Amino acid sequence: MNDLALKKSNIMKKRYQIDSFPIPLWQIEQAIIDQGFDIVISNELCKSCIIKNCVFLPHTLDSIGRVLLTHELGHILCHNCDIHRLDKTTRDQFESQADAFSVYFLIPIRRFKIDSKIYNSYELSELYGVPVEFIDSCVKKYLAN
């Protein structure tokens, strides 16, 4: 399942000519809009989700917003369905796939393998524009070794 996330991530980076990091929020937003989705950012929300053709996001720091946007873009590109109507096992698989997409999209694999030997989690967080928790959990899960 993560092979699809990696493939879709590479296609999108090529399509949008993304080769510098951290990826600007506007580029991620544009990729979502180009897929036919609107984006709504609200102070009233505590997490992100997709309802019909709209991505809903809480108002957050850029680093968190970058992860949330790419996670939702992963849902759009990898399975494009309302995951809330699925059984728990399938929903968990789709969430994992969206997490993997987010990691692959936000962090270049070859560069990370080198950088992770040089920098600590906090420095990697700054380098790629993502929260430290993202580095410590998802990134190491998908990009380790």
Q: How far is CA 92 from CA 42, 69, 75, 84, 111, in A?
A: 25, 18, 12, 10, 29
| Whether residue 102 has pLDDT greater than 90 | yes
How much is the pTM? 0.92
- The domain of 69 spans 2-143
When pLDDT is cut at 50, 70 and 90, the band that residue 1 belongs to is low
pLDDT at 143 over 90: no
Count structural domains, the chain: 1
Quick one: pLDDT band at residue 144, thresholds 50, 70, 90? Answer: low
How far is Cα 27 from Cα 49, in angstroms, rounded to an integer?
19
